[in-house]
Amino acid sequence: MLHSAKLVLLDVSPKEFLRMSNGRLPPRYRRGLERYRYGPGAAKVDLLVSEQVPWKNPAVGGAATVHLGGTHREVFAAETAVSAGVPAPEPFVLLVDPSVADPGRTRHGKRPLWAYAHVPNGDDSDPTQLITSRIERYAPGFTDTVIAGRGISAASYEGYNPNYVGGDIGGGAMTLRQSVLRPAPRWDPYRTPLPGVYLCSASTPPGPGVHGMSGYLAALSALRHEFGVRKPPALGPCSHTAAHLG
C-alpha cells in the first residue's frame, strides 16, 4: 500500500525508519541516521493508592501533574548523570494524579497514579522502588498508601513502542548539534531521499516538547514539494467560521 501512495509521513525514530526502509536509503543519509544519538530513557511505574498523596506542602495536591526534581543544582546533577549513562540515586520524576482533574477516576477511595523517572538509555532495572522512594521524599508516608504497582523499565519501553529507543520518549538527544541537525544534516530535515516520504516525528526539528510542530512543519514541506502549495491552509478555530460568514 505504501508503494502506491503519493505521500507518506512517518512519525517514527531514525532507527525505525532505517528498519522500514529495508536498505533503500542512500549510503550518506543512512550513515547519518545510524549516527543519530538517543537521550536518557524513561522508566515508568503505574500505581494504585488508597488515598491522596500526602504532600508536605498540601498546595501541591491541587496539581494533576507534579515535577519532582529538587533544587536547580540537584536537577542539573541528576540530568547530567543520566545523559552520561550513569544512574542518578535521586532522579527527576514526573508524577501524574489523574483524579485531581477527573475525580471520577477514584473508585471506593482508591486512585490511580503514574510516574516516570529519567534513567540511562537502555536501563533494564525495575524502577518501582526508585520512583516511590523519590515521591516519599516530598510526601512522607506515601509508600504506606501504595496498594499495587507495576514497573516498566526503560529497556521495556522500546519493546512496547520501537520508537522509544532505549526508553527515550523524546525522539533523540537534544545536543547542540541535534537541536538543529535532526535527524541528519539536510536543508529540509523532513524530506527523505525516498520520493514522497517525509519524517514528522520529534526526531525532526524543533524536537520534543514543542508538541505538534514537527508534524506541522513536515506537512508544510510535503505540501510545498509534492503539491506546489506554498501558502499553508488556515487551521485556526476561527478560520472555518470566517469562511462561512464570508
Answer whether 102's CB lies under 8 Å from 129's CB. no
Q: How far is the C-alpha of 103 from the C-alpha of 131, rounded, in Å?
A: 24
Averaged over successive runs of 10 residues, the pLDDT of the chain (246 residues) comes to: 80 97 95 97 98 97 96 96 95 97 95 98 97 97 97 96 96 93 95 96 94 94 94 74 47
| pLDDT value of residue 103 | 96
Q: Cell numbers 483524579 correspond to what residue?
A: 99
| pLDDT value of residue 242 | 47
| pLDDT value of residue 146 | 97
- Cα separation of the two ends of the chain: 40
| pLDDT value of residue 82 | 97
| pLDDT value of residue 245 | 43
Answer whether 33's CB lies under 8 Å from 23's CB. no
- Where in 130-225 does DSSP place strands (E)? 146-152, 197-199
pTM higher than 0.75, yes or no? yes
| pLDDT value of residue 183 | 97
Residues with Cβ within 8 Å of residue 47, at least 6 apart in sequence: 112, 113, 114, 115, 132, 146, 148, 149
